[in-house]
Amino acid sequence: MKRKVAIVAVVLLGWATAEVWAQAASNKDKPAATGVQPSKPPASVASPGYVIGADDMLMVSVWKEPDLTNTLPVRPDGNISLPLLNDVPAAGLTPMQLAASITEKLKKYVADPRVTVVVTQINSQKVFVTGDVLHTGAIQLLPDMTVLQALADAGFTQFANLKGIYVLRNENGKEQRIRVNYKRLVKGQAPNVTLKPGDTIVVP
């Protein structure tokens, strides 16, 4: 009886040892954990020639300097706040111009700084809709946005005069009024005006 127990114990021990060896071999083939991989920078929502404005969100990345890498808004005064540099003018510059400006300023504190600026949100470019529409107020201006797209977003009340719509636009200090005949527009019989930042669509 004791001999049978001993044999069973040996078999079980051999099985357990084989399992440990198999597990070790399996783990040997797996790549070792290297910690959390750095995430890729977000894709820019703006073209390279985009001019940064107030309320835009930017990611400023400095290579090998995590303390200087951050996502931050452009303040109403057009500046951003960065460690070491405090206020840095951003509005009116393209992302590449801002990156060059930050690079030059950081040379006093960082050896060979490499700066990347990415626009993660465009909040500065807006158009406005007012009058007999369901949703008045500001609309974020998307690339190549047309008056028809903005009107589709705003909607009409039952009292809207679809023949009297116009776009107010300030250019070079002069106010320009662009007439929009909605009924002809949806039929493709009138030009679909491409909107510019600051345009106001009036629906009488």
Q: What is the dihedral of CA 134, 135, 137, 142, to 10 degrees?
A: -120
Structure tokens at 6: 């001993």
What kind of fold does domain 126-203 have according to CATH?
Outer membrane lipoprotein wza fold like (3.10.560)
The tens digit of pLDDT for each residue in 35-90 reads: 334 456 678 888 888 899 999 999 999 999 999 999 999 999 999 999 999 999 99
| Nearest-angstrom CA–CA distance, 164 and 160 | 9
The tens digit of pLDDT for each residue in 128-158 reads: 999 999 999 999 888 789 999 999 999 999 9
Give me the mean pLDDT over the 174-189 stretch.
90
Q: Where are the domains of the chain?
A: 57-121, 126-203
pLDDT of residue 39: 52
Class of the domain covering 57-121: alpha beta
The tens digit of pLDDT for each residue in 8-33 reads: 444 444 544 445 444 544 444 444 44
pLDDT of residue 150: 95
- Whole-angstrom CA distances from 86 to 40, 111, 129 are 26, 19, 37
| Nearest-angstrom CA–CA distance, 73 and 57 | 4
149 SS3 class: helix
Give me the mean pLDDT over the 101-121 stretch.
95
168 SS3 class: strand
Q: What is the chain's percent helix, strand, coil content, to nearest 5?
A: 25, 30, 45
List the Cα angle 117/122/124 in 5-degree steps.
110
pLDDT of residue 40: 62
In one-letter notation, the amino acid at residue 115 is V
Q: What is the dihedral of CA 51, 198, 71, 96, to 10 degrees?
A: 0
pLDDT of residue 24: 46
Give me the mean pLDDT over the 192-198 stretch.
92
